[in-house]
Amino acid sequence: MSTLGSILGTIQRQLFPALEEEIGPLSQHEEKFVKVVEVAEVERSIVPYL
């Protein structure tokens, strides 16, 4: 499995259920947003500003 495939698999198996437990079911748009943010590793860019 590719690295990207592995990341997306982890998102679906671990992150989505955790998010849904906290905030309820995610729409398709919200799922796409979460995937993009995870794959882009946005947190690496914003940590210096927190």
Q: What is the pLDDT of residue 39?
A: 82
* Complete DSSP assignment for 1-50: --HHHHHHHHIIIIIHHHHHHHH-PPPHHHHHHHHHHHHHTHHHHHGGG-
Task: Find tokens 């590719």 and name the residue.
Answer: 2
Q: For residue 18, what are the domain limits? A: 3-49
Q: What is the pLDDT of residue 34?
A: 85
**What is the distance, to the nearest Å, from the Cα of residue 12 to the centroid of all Cα atoms in its chain?**
8
pTM comes to 0.66
Please give the tally of structural domains in the chain.
1
Exposed / middle / buried, residue 26 (Cβ in 10 Å: 0-12, 13-18, 19+): middle
* pLDDT, tens digit (0-9, with 9 covering 90-100), for 4-44: 778 778 778 888 888 899 999 999 999 898 888 888 887 77
